[in-house]
Chains A and B, each alone.
Chain A
Amino acid sequence: MALTLDIVTPERRVLSVSCDEVRAPGVQGGFGIRQNHEPFMTALEPGRLTYVEGGREHHYAIGGGFLQVADNRVIVLADTAESAGDIDVDRARAAFQQAQERLLKLTEQDENHRAESARVRRAAARLGVAGR
């Protein structure tokens, strides 16, 4: 296997595998990583992180964070990370709708607006990953 991938959250180490390719949602757009990628560090958006291992894709919903590549070692520091199989679609949808409703009640000047809109994006990412 060409790469090692570690996903770590503040609460636990989620994943530690070897794989061939990693695709992640960077703040400046999605990107892919394969063997011998240049040393690179970026912030991540809430979204879908995929790794490919022996032709099989595995999906994770991550809630923002950082990614670092060096020496074929990919490290993801995610605020939250869940494997697609662990997400309950119905509950993810309910959480998404709830977050959306709360956000709509706030004006853009509200001090909680940023936190709430981040929550909506996180919920949307979870739902998107779970839906497939």
Chain B
Amino acid sequence: MPSLRDIRNRIGSVKSTRQITKAMKMVAAAKLRRAQDAILKTRPYVQLLDQMLTRVAARALAEDTVAHPLLAPRTLRTADVVVITSDRGLAGGFNSNIARRAQRFLTEEGERFERIAVSTIGKKGREFFRARKVEIVKDFTGIHADLRYEKAEAIASEYTQRYLAGEVDAVFLAYNEFKSAIAQKPVVVQLLPIETPAAESTAGIDFKYEPSREALLAELLPRQITMQVWRALLESAASEHGARMSAMESATKNAEEMIAALTLQYNRARQAYVTKELMEIVSGAEALK
């Protein structure tokens, strides 16, 4: 039976834990709002870029010419999987879910390729694969701490260059897709080769293109790739904050339950102590009679 003081100390320590988890939950909620907002703000650009690309590419495809090396078909021999995790933990299953999803992808899809390699964005993913002795070919650091569009640009252009140089035939992004504040879905999506835009007929307005359709395509395609990377980074960030918010919410609830249980135990022990004292006094007084 723990002493009264032991229980009291225990309650104190659980209370301060609760304070921390509560604060973390609040911070995560604020960051989540901002991250969600950032995702929404990319929508107009994504839509318009898609529209332009479809218009320009559909024509090129209809004419059956390879309008750009990025659209040229090729046999897939080597692949890179870029796994996006967070730098920080305490976010429930956020990191292990996506790391395990990526690992499953490696074993399931590995046979399709002669070589399949892992790159990581985020500290937790790096630790996960390093612990499992999986070789990491490239580790991007400091992405999450200061998330900016240029970072997505740099990552996208690196893979585009490697793709065009023939060093890699396919690039996949593995990340947590943001479903809602409490739901994230680990996904693996193909970044390269570009999924060819559906060749729907864009009859109607006949545009004049400057300098030329091919030149425009060459400018549009890299931006499409960058946008996909940017999207993935933003989705992952929002998911991370959502996951941390739920994790901290349930941690706070657990702490509260524990405090209630401990307080009950404390009161019982105190009651027992008081009763015992009283008994001693009464029996002492009896003895004196």
Contacts and interface: CB of A to CB of B under 8 A. Distances in A.
A4 to B, nearest CB: 13
B45 A10 contact: yes
A39 B204 CA distance: 11
Contacts, number: 68
A79 B216 CA distance: 15
A26 interface: yes
A38 B45 contact: no
Interface string B199-230: 00000011111110001100110010011001
Interface of B: 38, 41-42, 44-45, 48-49, 52, 55-56, 149, 157, 205-211, 215-216, 219-220, 223, 226-227, 230
Interface of A: 6, 8-13, 26-28, 38-43, 66, 68, 70-71, 75, 77, 79, 115
A11 B227 CA distance: 10
Nearest to B43: A13
Contact of A41 (B38, B41, B45, B209): B209
Given A41-B52, A41-B56, A77-B48, A70 B41 contact: no
A39 B205 contact: yes
B207 A40 contact: yes
Nearest to A70: B205
A10 B42 contact: yes
Contacts of B220: 66
B41 A43 contact: no
B215 A43 contact: yes
A92 B195 CA distance: 39
B208 A38 contact: yes
B209 A42 contact: yes
B50 to A, nearest CB: 11
A12 B206 CA distance: 29
Contact of B210 (A43, A71, A75): A43
